[in-house]
């Protein structure tokens, strides 16, 4: 469940620029970069970096250990006797300053004299509750503890600023959208409203619907595109069944080592890496100044007969600009087994996020659907194996199913009993399938924007916005304004 424009979904770049972010699933040696940073407004003041002391374990009063949580603050609009408090919640990424300098929350703060904060989620960025991320230390990484961090933060800031009577509204996108929903659900006495953008609040182990939505996005771009993609992946499966096929595929896709067709984990990693080239574009798709989307550009390649067969087009689309591609499953395990905060696996946020998927959410994007066009080679069994290999034999498929069930029971899945929450989604965002898509009563509206992707409603108005996106953003500002004024 968040992006920048650098090619970091894989630890190596591919020919078509794929935005990185919080798309969830196993991609070889990748890092998390969070939501794409909005461009700072000219009037924006530079936010101040601050720290606040938090308990390591909020639920064990005999444990008096503490740690320092990082956050940014911007009070440039602060005015009035009971000004609102607006908080952007960090998710599975390192927080930066842009969300306090532009975007929906910034515009609302400007209109209502609010103070703004951006809080960092424990175990991401510089917010480090334990000495490292060994499995035994990751027991304190869960949404219950993270939500308590938010509650303690609000209490502390209200007291510090003398704002005990101020309204609080939280904002979050993707997993942080879950956080916003659940913070309002769990701490309604502290939080008066929430914007949950692209929030996959329904936990699901085998999230095969993800690639169904990617397929539909390609179809909307060009009806010939999904057929070509499907033909390419069928060709891969056919070649894997022939003696020389794996060698041909290894050369086609510039693999560092020959693909072993007998190793299902390597094959799964290889196929998922290719499919993620499409997923990354669709999830964060936008209309550019020429009127084209990323899906349009991908489909231009996949439907071009001048580039050869569909398989050759796929190879062209994902061809490396340099070096080779390592799709060995064992390389993924070795990379993410590092536990030091300074290691790329941890500083890039993926070791922490993979743990949360194993222990709370699943969200594993698989090819387990005949409605997607990406073959059948990457399955949930690969993720089951990854959880055990990274965090220990305790993390079994049965544990995952139990954890997913627990998350949905405790927080209500996609049918929560809530008020004063806006659930905003784009119907081309693969994550919208797990969100709330119908109003939960009058005070918890669901806004679904056609032909829109991940978290687009969190940004300020743009010239490339559709009329329906412009209307959705205006509606969000109006509703939040009503919460603040009530």
- CA distances to 40, 104, 158 from 84, rounded to whole Å, are 22, 15, 10
Residues taking part in catalysis: 174, 429, 454
Phi-psi region of 60 (alpha: psi -120 to 50; beta: other; left: phi over 0): beta
Cβ atoms of 124 and 22 closer than 8 Å: no
Under a CB-based contact definition with an 8 Å cutoff, are residues 214 and 278 in contact? yes
d(CA 74, CA 108): 13
DSSP H/E element including 425: strand 421-426
Residue 399 to residues 73, 383, 386, 395, 460: CA-CA distances in angstroms? Answer: 39, 13, 14, 6, 41
Sign of CA dihedral 236, 238, 239, 243: positive
Q: Which two tokens stand for residue 230?
A: 């499907």
Per DSSP, 37 falls in state: P
What's the CA gap between 69 and 58, in Å, rounded? 14
């Amino acid at each position: 469940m968040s992006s920048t424009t650098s090619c970091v979904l894989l630890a190596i770049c591919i020919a078509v620029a794929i935005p990185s972010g919080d798309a969830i699933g196993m991609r070889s040696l990748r890092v998390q970069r969070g939501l794409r940073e909005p461009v700072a407004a000219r009037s924006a003041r530079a936010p101040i970096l601050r720290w606040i002391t938090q308990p390591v374990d909020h639920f064990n009063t005999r444990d008096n250990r503490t740690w320092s949580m990082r956050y940014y603050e911007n009070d440039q609009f602060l005015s009035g006797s009971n000004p609102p408090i607006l908080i952007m919640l960090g998710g599975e990424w390192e927080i930066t300053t842009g969300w306090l300098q532009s975007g929906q929350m910034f515009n609302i703060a400007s209109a209502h004299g609010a103070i703004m904060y951006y809080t960092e989620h424990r175990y991401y960025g510089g917010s480090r509750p334990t000495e490292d991320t060994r499995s035994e230390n990751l027991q304190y990484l869960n949404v219950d503890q993270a939500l308590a961090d938010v509650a303690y933060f609000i209490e502390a800031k209200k007291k510090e600023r003398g704002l005990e009577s101020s309204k609080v509204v939280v904002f979050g996108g993707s997993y942080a959208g879950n956080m916003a929903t659940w913070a309002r659900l769990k701490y309604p006495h502290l939080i008066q409203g929430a914007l949950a953008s692209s929030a996959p609040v329904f936990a699901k182990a085998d999230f095969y619907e993800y690639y169904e939505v990617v397929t539909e996005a390609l179809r909307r771009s060009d009806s010939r595109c999904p057929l070509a993609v499907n033909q390419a992946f069928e060709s891969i499966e056919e070649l894997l069944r022939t003696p020389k096929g794996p060698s041909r595929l290894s050369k086609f896709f510039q693999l560092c080592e020959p693909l072993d067709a007998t190793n299902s984990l390597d094959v799964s990693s290889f196929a998922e890496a290719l499919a993620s080239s499409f997923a990354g574009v669709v999830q964060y798709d936008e209309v550019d100044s020429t009127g084209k989307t990323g899906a349009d550009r991908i489909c231009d390649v996949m439907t071009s007969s001048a580039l050869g067969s569909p398989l050759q087009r796929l190879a062209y689309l994902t061809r490396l600009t340099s070096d080779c591609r390592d799709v060995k499953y064992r390389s993924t395990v070795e990379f993410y087994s590092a536990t030091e905060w300074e290691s790329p696996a941890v500083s890039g946020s993926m070791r922490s996020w993979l743990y949360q998927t194993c222990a709370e959410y699943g969200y594993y994007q698989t090819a387990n659907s005949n409605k997607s066009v990406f073959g059948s080679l990457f399955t949930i069994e690969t993720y089951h194996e990854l959880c055990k290999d990274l965090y220990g034999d305790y993390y079994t498929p049965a544990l995952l199913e139990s954890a997913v069930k627990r998350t949905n029971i405790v927080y209500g899945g996609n049918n929560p009993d809530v008020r004063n929450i806006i659930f905003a989604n784009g119907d081309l965002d693969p994550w919208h399938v797990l969100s709330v898509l119908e109003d939960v009563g009058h005070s918890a509206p669901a806004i679904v924007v056609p032909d829109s992707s991940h978290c687009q409603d969190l940004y300020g108005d743009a010239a490339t916005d559709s009329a329906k996106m412009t209307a959705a953003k205006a509606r969000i500002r109006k509703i939040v304004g009503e919460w603040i004024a009530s």
